[in-house]
Chain A
């Protein structure tokens, strides 16, 4: 048990005597009933089997933050990092601020934020490895870095930036509510360290001593309906109508008198000048996702065209491909592309050798389902490719079975590939345009893939090319329609989505313009190809131009998709937790100084030894139990 000092000051002890039965969202505060199997178990903190004697052990706890009082002294962050032994670039809790007014009628509001141990932990649901658990004890949402494989999906879905993806360690870690202190009746380290009397902690919905408010929101805090966070606020001092973020995010918070809350609105921080922003784009850590999604979509598109067009509907032009000498090379090409995409995706993980844990959360995580779907698709594709080498009834049957598996994998994989981006905390992605672009890309890139291999490997591709061009045109038009709606919705929308569109049209304005121009050009080219009879040198020229133009367009579009997303996260400070400064530090080399607290993004090697270790340490029975748990959730 955590040692309690003899001279521990009174303020460090939890004070709750009574509590309410339900929170404001109608959830019970007592998390389990008497006699429940989840009760009277040890938390096994560092393998200590004792059970804490905290009388409120099974009640949902939460932080209370009096924004009026916070002075941004960072004592809470320091106490947290000291206790959890965190390096400078990791912070389970951090303080940012917003400010407004004109000198001297100026007010800065600091916000200290850690994990809110939500009623609806989107991190837990999103995590593909089941590294997260919401405990019946204190309602703490805890994460186990030893399970995590470092995909960072929880950091995408969390609206508060609570999970911390460590580019050095390659795993996520986060606030553990100091459950070791709670077990012995002490408040968390951050709360005990607070020097402004701003931070409090206790059973949720209990108004702390000497406080008058327990609001669910303050300016700068994301919409609580996303996760039902267990944090309450007091903010009674009048703020200015506009409260601005001081980090690089183009957002300010504007008072909505009718709603009585502050809404995030666009703040055009760096004018209207258009830039290429190419350096930022090309060095993006999300490049792995670009390569994976584009190659997977190209291969999926091609596969579906072959199976549906060729095998199911027996369209002559597609059938001809299947029967040509181009067929096997095409399949091999698809297999290699898919394999390369998957490899790239896997190797972007912080712990690539833990890849097999990706299926663990099929019950909740769209990412797990995507991984499962894509894996099934890849297996189907592999089988279909392999059995297509042979020509007999048995192998044909197996090829057919593989095709069915591939199609099922495609349906699940492509759907969840889209679905996993529908994240409320990332309004730029949370739009049907993600689907139209993904499925549109399958048509355009899939067609291109078949076309290139066919033109090189088979004769008389005249009709095929025309059909493929038409399919590509349909895909491109779908994509274009999605993009038009997306842009309009963002521009006329609010908050982070609007800010993302502002960045799109300024920081990456020229790149955005180029992508759009290429999209129009590609639509024209596909229509020209499908409706005219281009042959010979001109045909090859147009084909090459279209290929280059389509690939460039797809790449730029996709990289923008990842680089641009602005999460509904907490405001940062001027240096600390400011994406603009982090980017500058990495670009300029300032980040070479370890004490700057900015780590470079990096890749992690596939650690065979650790994988073998895991295999060795787990018996077959363990593995079966693990697999069972995927279904049962135990």
Chain B
């Protein structure tokens, strides 16, 4: 053996000199991984690693989590509060008091001029739960606008709506442990390896042990689809037809769980009557899956001892998003696959704290799934918060997507945008731009000052990010986990909670409520207040404290004060909802089987626009890339916008791999680089949504009638070869700074 030199020099291996590891929960997606950030002697965050004994991720992290410590010092962070008279002017730096005073007085000025609901507050799934709760209290209890919603309308609204319709309440009933228990997994429009890599790993570990069959329903040959036992290439927007037809087969062949249906559901007759219209022969012509496959999958699903269904945006982001969720729930209910180990319908959520905002933000009502429409809920919360119950609206206001349409009509004149970037994330950017331009005041509160929406801001409030702050987040499997402020907020930015509390002081000073509304300063205290409000409810967190949560590496709700008092150690995992008969959240404890008639209202490809536009996520990027677009070890895998184009379609237009192409929809156009691949069919292109001024210039985004979530995944476009490649490259480059 040839060893080279005999005398060897010492080996040098990078040593980041970590002095201390601090605990946090990852702030990227909803998987909820426990993460430790390494700080060096000077307190700088230099390293990240997965927590070994955390049940969710068991020591693993994805590529975004691995570099999460680089976020604190990444480019474009907001440093100082800024104001200006209009968005045409240059920003002027200012102090916090001036910025907050102006925020307060502008909100009130607009409300006085145009009415209380003329100011909209649009929040996010990015903040910590205590911050959501505080913002909800501030908005519902003091500001008094009913146009308050989160960007979770763009990702999880259909899941929320579907759960509510089927089970009487939001709340995913399953958990990651179901992968270890299940005998069959169906993934509806969900690409775990790319969107939720750690959940994928949990699934892969389970599958390597038990070998359960995997069925993937997706029009694109994703990594998960390629590795599935069956891949059903459904026609975009027709999932409900496939679900109905599967139910037809199950009911027609008597494969349903009659006992379970009888004990746990209402509405089987109506359901049976509706699905009778979807025999596999008829359904195959609509959904593009042949009748034999429909029958085979339906039988396989119904006969499995336990069967698990997961879904993500392929279902939610559709005009039948809420119906799709109900359809999944219907399938689970008629086969008894809810609340049993390995049998569940589990929404794989999107943002890191989408669940926290669902539970506590008061966007769609009042805290902890309480409803504005329910007088008792209004009464209880008003009393708890020390406000007049009459101050609450009697029904929820507009959804985020509807707020923008109202903005176009001039009904909304003031906007407080918190940790969200609609210029990048909402469909049909051209409309959003016009809506933003006509605002009288726009307040941008974000940890980045270079988001595209900031260009329309009049006030900029620089916020802390992720583990510069203190609080909890809830993950996909209802696990509440904690984030600790392991580093001071960047420059003169402040935690969102601090900003809300300072705003609350200003509104409280009006003296409307005798004694004022209490806004605790510390997240841990707010958490205890929330615990009190959760007692006896579905998502009961009253047994938890920040300390117990960190010690347990996150706790799944419910974990009650009673359990804590009885010294019941929180389970490491495997906690499910609806495990007993008739424990659903409708008054009679029974879930609803809801018939789902299908109306095809999508924009489908035609002669002028012959291609389906499918949009979606890449593993290396976070939402609008304001985080990952600046970290080379994430960004480099896809630094510029591209489209997956079928090589046969490309050949007809003379497009070769690496060419810039122009995509045109009935809304606008976009320049992308062509990647030729048979991942997509000849009549479809796939464009990642992460890039500003790109995919969402093209999308139509029809709204789901129940959830108001936009159908990002069903639009029609055409593709053109660009003659001047140099100019196209220049254009693509100029359109974004990162």
A88 within 8 A of B: yes
Chain B residues contacting A79 (CB-CB under 8 Å) are 66
Closest residue of A by beta carbon distance from B640: A590
B226 within 8 A of A: yes
**How near does chain B come to A518, taking the closest CB pair, in angstroms?**
30
A195 and B201 within 8 A (CB): yes
B721 within 8 A of A: no
A12 and B59 within 8 A (CB): yes
A576 and B5 within 8 A (CB): no
A104 and B63 within 8 A (CB): no
Contact for A595 among B13, B680, B738, CB less than 8 A:
B738
**How near does chain B come to A302, taking the closest CB pair, in angstroms?**
38
Interface residues of A in 80-138 (CB under 8 A from B): 81-89, 99, 101-104, 106-108, 119-121, 124-125, 130, 132-136
Chain B residues contacting A258 (CB-CB under 8 Å) are none
Chain A residues contacting B227 (CB-CB under 8 Å) are 71
A18 within 8 A of B: no
One digit per residue, 1 when the CB lies within 8 angstroms of any chain A CB and 0 when it does not, for chain B 176-216 equals 00000000000000000110011011001100100000000
Closest residue of B by beta carbon distance from A12: B59
Q: How far is the CA of A588 from the CA of B660 in the complex (A)?
A: 13
The segment from A141-149, A336-344, A467-475 found at the interface with B is A141-149
A210 within 8 A of B: yes
Q: How far is the CA of A270 from the CA of B59 in the complex (A)?
A: 45
B370 within 8 A of A: no
A523 within 8 A of B: no
B679 and A31 within 8 A (CB): no
A78 within 8 A of B: yes
Closest residue of A by beta carbon distance from B677: A99
**How near does chain A come to B304, taking the closest CB pair, in angstroms?**
24
A519 within 8 A of B: no
The verdict on A575 contacting B63 (CB below 8 Å), with A102-B678, A197-B208, A593-B738 known, is: no
B47 within 8 A of A: yes
B204 and A89 within 8 A (CB): no
The segment from B418-426, B628-636, B697-705 found at the interface with A is B628-636
Chain A residues contacting B66 (CB-CB under 8 Å) are 75, 78-79, 82, 193
Q: How far is the CA of A121 from the CA of B5 in the complex (A)?
A: 13
A516 within 8 A of B: no
A46 within 8 A of B: yes
B268 within 8 A of A: no
B639 within 8 A of A: yes
Closest residue of A by beta carbon distance from B218: A104
Q: How far is the CA of A192 from the CA of B2 in the complex (A)?
A: 29
The segment from A37-45, A218-226, A392-400, A530-538 found at the interface with B is A37-45
Chain A residues contacting B675 (CB-CB under 8 Å) are 246, 574
The verdict on A108 contacting B226 (CB below 8 Å), with A102-B678, A271-B656 known, is: yes
Chain A residues contacting B231 (CB-CB under 8 Å) are 104
Chain B residues contacting A574 (CB-CB under 8 Å) are 638, 642, 657, 675
A73 and B208 within 8 A (CB): no
Chain B residues contacting A248 (CB-CB under 8 Å) are 657-658
**How near does chain A come to B45, taking the closest CB pair, in angstroms?**
12
The verdict on A85 contacting B16 (CB below 8 Å), with A106-B221, A179-B11 known, is: yes
The segment from A3-11, A439-447, A492-500 found at the interface with B is A3-11
Chain A residues contacting B658 (CB-CB under 8 Å) are 248, 580-581, 584
Chain A residues contacting B396 (CB-CB under 8 Å) are none
**How near does chain A come to B66, taking the closest CB pair, in angstroms?**
4
Q: How far is the CA of A12 from the CA of B49 in the complex (A)?
A: 13
Q: How far is the CA of A593 from the CA of B221 in the complex (A)?
A: 32
A27 within 8 A of B: yes
B6 and A633 within 8 A (CB): yes
Q: How far is the CA of A269 from the CA of B659 in the complex (A)?
A: 12
Q: How far is the CA of A134 from the CA of B47 in the complex (A)?
A: 29
B635 and A595 within 8 A (CB): yes
B635 and A597 within 8 A (CB): yes
Contact for A9 among B58, B200, B682, B730, CB less than 8 A:
B58
A157 within 8 A of B: no
A195 and B12 within 8 A (CB): no
A307 within 8 A of B: no
B406 within 8 A of A: no
Closest residue of A by beta carbon distance from B75: A595
A69 within 8 A of B: yes
B620 within 8 A of A: yes
A73 and B193 within 8 A (CB): yes
B15 within 8 A of A: yes
Closest residue of B by beta carbon distance from A125: B2
Chain A residues contacting B197 (CB-CB under 8 Å) are 71, 73, 75, 195
Q: How far is the CA of A124 from the CA of B1 in the complex (A)?
A: 12
Q: How far is the CA of A192 from the CA of B233 in the complex (A)?
A: 34
Chain B residues contacting A575 (CB-CB under 8 Å) are 636-640, 642
B7 within 8 A of A: yes
Closest residue of B by beta carbon distance from A120: B2
A370 within 8 A of B: no
Chain B residues contacting A311 (CB-CB under 8 Å) are none
B318 within 8 A of A: no
A505 within 8 A of B: no
A629 within 8 A of B: yes
Chain A residues contacting B12 (CB-CB under 8 Å) are 45-46, 144-146
15 contacts between A and B (CB under 8 A): A6-B52, A9-B59, A46-B15, A71-B223, A81-B633, A88-B633, A88-B635, A107-B226, A195-B60, A197-B204, A364-B2, A575-B642, A581-B658, A596-B639, A598-B636
Please list the residues of chain A having a beta carbon within 8 angstroms of any beta carbon in chain B: 5-9, 11-12, 27-28, 31, 38, 41, 43-47, 69, 71-75, 77-79, 81-89, 99, 101-104, 106-108, 119-121, 124-125, 130, 132-136, 142, 144-147, 176, 178-180, 192-193, 195-197, 210, 246, 248, 269-271, 364, 573-576, 580-581, 584-585, 588-590, 593-598, 629, 633-634
User: What 9 A-B pairs come out closest when comparing CB atoms?
Assistant: A88-B632, A597-B636, A7-B52, A78-B63, A44-B10, A7-B53, A71-B193, A634-B6, A85-B14
Known: A28-B1, A41-B8, A597-B639. 6 other contacts (CB 8 A): A79-B66, A133-B5, A593-B639, A595-B635, A597-B636, A633-B6
